[in-house]
């Protein structure tokens, strides 16, 4: 291949050969305004080993980077940490060039890969099924596999390179961030981007996160570098992202209240703004978040650290706007922990928006701290006073929240 794509040596004879997806703006409906990267790694040893691949439309760039180090046809081993196509959809390209390469994957990953890539000859690929504790000798180096079921798919695993103390963490510890830099000490927003990634992808999986942290402790693994599947690599104090995962998985919050709403003619919006006034009058941070003017991925990131939310829901055709309904359905799937909420909104006759939001939040396991405020058409002075008082009470709850640091 003639392309001018080059690898980055991340440790002696270990190369990043991934791709940067600068134009990615939507990752299975998760807004990614800063793009992402799909990180594959090449280890040069007696056995030449590729860890993960990239999204198929960018496979040429990965192959071009590999070619600068070694003939891709010489790859002996491929580690497939995860079935999801952002890491596996170039596998068939690699296998086409390496009929004899062996693929190391969990049992579930092997089955899942063949369900995706059977038309590309997956059934004839040489798989070795691995589990936690399996060690693979590459010559001078050894890979140890760690199964991480439901972090974030049943098939997921991570791979530890013992001699270099590198954890190839696939979908753990990453960020959706396109950058010309490869390492966390070269950018200033790695942790912030990692929290958005955690909130949107891993929030439902706090138990598997704790399981992984426990396994790492039990296996007595020292980690000098976390080579993620997305975004930048943690080489400067990788313990910081492990600590952050522990904090996020335990549901730790900071005292703030989010007011999340949608409105057709501005009545619910007026209420929302006055709820914010009430919150801030108590010196507690508040954020006003319109559901059609903010990226939901950003709102979800805020929810990760907020103990209290207020949902403003107007009524249309006996129910909520689709933005409110969609957002609450999305939130339900993310199973946020230890959250408290109240609902408010304007209606014209039969109502329905507030009731819907309350019942959706209850089904999500969010504690409704008081009955919703519903007002007919435009809010009057008394209505707005009630909204301000609601804000004051929510601020008090946020400031007393026990789960914060």
Ligand X SMILES: Cc1cc2nc3c(=O)[nH]c(=O)nc-3n(C[C@H](O)[C@H](O)[C@H](O)COP(=O)(O)O)c2cc1C
Q: Which residues within the stretch 340-359 sit at the binding site for ligand X (CB under 6 A)?
A: 346-352
User: CA torsion sign, 13 to 18 to 20 to 26?
Assistant: negative
The answer to the question of residue 84 lying near Fe ion (CB under 5 A) is yes
What span, in angstroms and rounded, lies between the C-alpha atoms of 250 and 46?
42
**Residue 173 to residues 21, 176, 297: CA-CA distances in angstroms?**
18, 11, 17
Q: Which of 45, 52, 67, 84 is catalytic?
A: 84
Is position 372 an interface residue for ligand X (rule: CB under 6 A)? no
By beta-carbon proximity to Fe ion, the closer residue of 56 and 252 is 56
- Residue 219 has, within 13 A of its CA and on its CB side, a CA count of 23
* Active-site choice (152, 196, 360, 401): 152
Piece of the chain touching ligand X by CB under 6 A; list 39-47, 67-75, 200-208, 265-273:
265-273
From the candidates 2, 4, 12, 28, which is the catalytic residue?
28
- Among 220, 317, 402, 405, indicate the residue that binds ligand X (CB under 6 A): 317
197 labelled catalytic: yes
**What is the SS3 assignment for 19-79?**
EEECCCCEECCEECCCCEEECCEEECCCCCEEECCCCHHHHHHHHHHHHCCCCHHHCCEEE
Rule CB under 6 A: is residue 326 a binding residue for ligand X?
no
Structure tokens at 403: 């789960």
Q: What is the C-alpha separation between 342 and 257, in angstroms, rounded?
A: 11
**Binding residue (CB under 5 A) for Fe ion from 21, 86, 269, 358:** 86
d(CA 205, CA 304): 13
Among 264, 362, 380, 403, binds ligand X (CB under 6 A): 264
Instruction: Check if the beta carbon of residue 302 is closer than 8 Å to that of residue 336.
Output: no
* Annotated catalytic residue within 30, 38, 41, 197: 197
Binding to Fe ion (CB under 5 A): which residues in 114-173? Answer: 171
The residue among 91 and 387 lying less far from Fe ion, judged by its C-beta, is 91
Q: Which helix (H) or strand (E) holds 97?
A: helix 91-97
CB atoms within 10 A of CB 135: 11
Based on the residue annotation, tell me whether 82 is a catalytic residue of this protein.
yes
Among 35, 85, 154, 266, binds ligand X (CB under 6 A): 266
- φ/ψ of 347, rounded to 5, equals -145, 175
* Under rule CB under 6 A, residue 377 binds ligand X: yes
The site partner of 81 among ligand X, Fe ion, none (C-beta below 5 to 8 Å per kind) is: none
Binding of residue 154 to ligand X (CB under 6 A): no
In the complex, least distance from residue 376 CB atom to ligand X, rounded to whole angstroms: 7
Q: Binder to ligand X among 318, 359, 363, 403 (CB under 6 A)?
A: 318
> With CB cut-offs between 5 and 8 Å by kind, which of Fe ion, ligand X, none does residue 98 bind?
none
Asked whether the beta carbons of 248 and 300 are under 8 A apart, the reply is no
Our answer to whether residue 380 is catalytic in this structure is: no
Name the residue whose CB lies closest to ligand X. Answer: 348
Q: How many CA atoms lie within 13 A of 242 on its CB side?
A: 23
Measured between alpha carbons, how far apart are the two ends of the chain, in Å?
Answer: 53
Question: Is 330 marked active-site?
Answer: no
Q: What dihedral do alpha carbons 291, 292, 294, 296 form, nearest 10°?
A: 60
Residues in the interface with ligand X (CB under 6 A) total 19
Is 230 in the active site?
yes
**Core vs surface per residue 328-341: b (16+ CB within 10 A) or e:** bebbbebebbebbb
Rank residues 40 and 263 by Cβ distance to Fe ion and give the closer one: 40
Q: Is 181 in the active site?
A: no
Nearest residue to Fe ion by CB is 84
CB 351 within 8 Å of CB 319: no
Tell me the window of 154-162, 173-181, 263-271, 273-281 that interacts with ligand X (CB under 6 A): 263-271
**Residues designated as active site:** 28, 82, 84, 86, 152, 171, 197, 230
Q: Contact positions toward Fe ion, by CB under 5 A?
A: 84, 86, 171
Q: Contact positions toward ligand X, by CB under 6 A?
A: 263-268, 314-318, 346-352, 377
């Amino acid at each position: 291949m003639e392309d001018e794509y080059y690898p980055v040596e991340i440790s002696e004879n270990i190369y990043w050969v991934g791709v940067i997806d600068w134009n990615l703006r939507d990752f299975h409906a998760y807004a990614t305004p800063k793009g992402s990267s799909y990180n594959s790694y090449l280890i040069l040893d007696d056995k030449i080993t590729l860890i993960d691949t990239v999204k198929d439309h960018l496979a040429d760039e990965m192959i071009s980077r590999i070619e600068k180090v070694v003939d891709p046809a010489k790859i002996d081993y491929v580690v497939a940490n995860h079935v999801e196509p952002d890491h596996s959809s170039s596998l068939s390209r690699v296998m086409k060039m390496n009929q004899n390469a062996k693929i190391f994957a969990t049992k579930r990953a092997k089955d899942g890969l063949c369900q995706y890539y059977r038309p590309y000859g997956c059934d004839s690929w040489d798989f070795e099924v691995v589990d936690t504790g399996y060690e693979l000798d590459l010559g001078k180096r050894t890979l140890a596999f760690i199964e991480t079921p439901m972090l974030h798919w049943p098939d997921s695993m991570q791979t530890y390179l013992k001699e270099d103390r590198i954890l190839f963490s696939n979908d753990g510890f990453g960020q959706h961030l396109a950058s010309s830099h490869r390492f966390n000490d070269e950018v200033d927003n790695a942790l912030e981007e990692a929290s958005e990634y955690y909130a949107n992808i891993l929030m439902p999986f706090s138990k598997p996160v704790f399981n992984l942290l426990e396994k790492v402790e039990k296996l007595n693994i020292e980690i000098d570098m976390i080579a993620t599947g997305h975004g930048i690599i943690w080489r400067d104090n990788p313990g910081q992202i492990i600590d952050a995962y522990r904090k996020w998985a335990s549901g730790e919050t900071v005292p703030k209240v989010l007011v999340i709403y949608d409105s057709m003619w501005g009545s619910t919006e007026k209420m929302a703004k006055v709820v914010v006034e009430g919150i801030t009058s108590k010196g507690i941070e508040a954020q006003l978040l319109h559901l059609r003017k903010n990226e939901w991925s950003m709102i979800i990131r805020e929810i990760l650290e907020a103990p209290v939310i207020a949902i403003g829901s107007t009524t249309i055709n006996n129910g909520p706007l689709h933005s409110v309904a969609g957002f609450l359905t999305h939130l339900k799937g993310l199973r946020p922990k230890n959250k408290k909420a109240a609902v408010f909104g304007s209606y014209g006759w039969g109502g329905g928006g507030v009731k819907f939001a309350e019942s959706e939040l209850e089904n999500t396991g969010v504690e409704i701290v008081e009955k919703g405020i519903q007002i007919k058409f435009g809010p009057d002075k008394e209505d707005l006073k009630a909204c301000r008082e609601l804000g004051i009470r929510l601020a008090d709850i946020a400031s007393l929240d026990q789960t914060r640091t």
